[in-house]
């Protein structure tokens, strides 16, 4: 169904909210926060401004709701990638694919997280920070468990992997190069794996085994002299 619905039609509140969020995301992604007006968003959603204000008291609250929705989508994608396998090489590949897929198919929602024009507003900045920290913590936990690095070291590696995924996915999207999404994600995950695989699983330490007992020695019995 198109966003432009019959103004007289009534939708259940959750469905109406979803409709408004979709229209708002389209406006904020294409126009930016400052240029997108509530009039435009209401028009895209096919509702009157009073209906829009019934759900959201102002443009900032609407923007933050869209940002929350987009952030939760990315977090869910990363979580699903990490839980999809116990093979760490495949985990790295799945995580990069999650970022590339999010950038390519979520109707520009990544711009609200990575390229927002509202990062100077604390409420928006805190949400972007929450998204990055949540994804980093999930990855760091896997690294810590599988390598037995300490928490700080694991977090540093996780942040580095996320930086690679975010930057390369955005570069791929904006680049005129003809490399496919799948090839780009494969290349970057291979690069990341060559680095992270240098931290192999450290087996649990255990007490050194006791030295084997010394072999018993017996003195040879003296031979009886014969006459």
Closest CA to 114 of 158, 79, 163, 64: 163
Q: 128 and 71: one domain?
A: yes
| Helical spans, DSSP H, in the chain | 13-31, 38-45, 49-55, 59-83, 88-105, 109-114, 122-147, 151-174, 181-196
Is the overall model pTM greater than 0.75, yes or no?
yes
Reported confidence tier of residue 3, pLDDT bands at 50, 70, 90: very low
Q: 22 and 100: one domain?
A: no
User: Residue 138 maps to which CATH number?
Assistant: 1.10.357.10
Q: 100 and 191: one domain?
A: yes
Residue 225 forms part of a structural domain: no
Q: 21 and 42: one domain?
A: yes
**188: containing domain:** 67-196
- Out of 38, 57, 76, a domain closes at 57
Q: 140 and 85: one domain?
A: yes
What average pLDDT does this structure show over 91-120?
89
Instruction: Please give the residue that has the higher pLDDT: either 43 or 10.
Output: 43
What pLDDT digit, counting tens, does each position of 122-139 carry? 999 999 999 999 999 999
Q: 47 and 78: one domain?
A: no
Q: 175 and 79: one domain?
A: yes
- Residue 155: the pLDDT is 96
What pLDDT digit, counting tens, does each position of 48-100 carry? 999 999 999 999 999 999 999 999 999 999 999 999 999 999 999 999 999 99
Cβ burial, residue 150 (10 Å; 0-12/13-18/19+): exposed
Cα→Cα distances 33→2, 26, 74, 140, 154, Å: 23, 11, 20, 33, 35
What pLDDT digit, counting tens, does each position of 168-216 carry? 999 998 887 789 999 999 999 999 999 999 887 756 554 445 455 444 4
Q: 48 and 140: one domain?
A: no
Q: 81 and 188: one domain?
A: yes
Closest CA to 102 of 79, 122, 83: 79
């Amino acid at each position: 169904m198109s966003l432009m619905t019959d103004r007289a039609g009534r939708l259940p509140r959750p469905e109406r909210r979803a409709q408004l969020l979709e229209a708002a995301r389209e406006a904020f992604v294409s126009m930016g926060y400052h240029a997108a007006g509530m009039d435009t968003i209401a028009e895209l959603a096919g509702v009157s401004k009073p209906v829009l204000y019934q759900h959201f008291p102002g443009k900032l609250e609407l923007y933050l709701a869209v940002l929350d929705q987009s952030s939760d989508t990315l977090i869910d994608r990363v979580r699903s990638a990490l839980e999809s396998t116990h093979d760490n090489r495949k985990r790295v590949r799945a995580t990069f694919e999650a970022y590339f897929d999010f950038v390519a198919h979520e109707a520009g929602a990544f711009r609200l997280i990575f390229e927002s024009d509202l990062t100077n507003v604390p409420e928006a900045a805190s949400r972007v920070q929450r998204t990055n920290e949540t994804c980093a913590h999930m990855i760091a936990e896997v690294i810590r468990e599988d390598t037995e690095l300490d928490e700080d070291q694991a977090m540093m590696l996780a942040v580095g992997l996320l930086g690679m995924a975010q930057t390369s996915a955005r570069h791929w999207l904006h680049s005129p190069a003809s490399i496919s999404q799948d090839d780009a994600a494969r290349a970057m995950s291979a690069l990341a794996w060559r680095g992270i695989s240098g931290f192999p699983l450290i087996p649990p330490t255990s007490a050194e085994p006791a030295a084997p007992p010394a072999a018993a020695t017996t003195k040879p019995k003296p031979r009886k002299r014969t006459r």
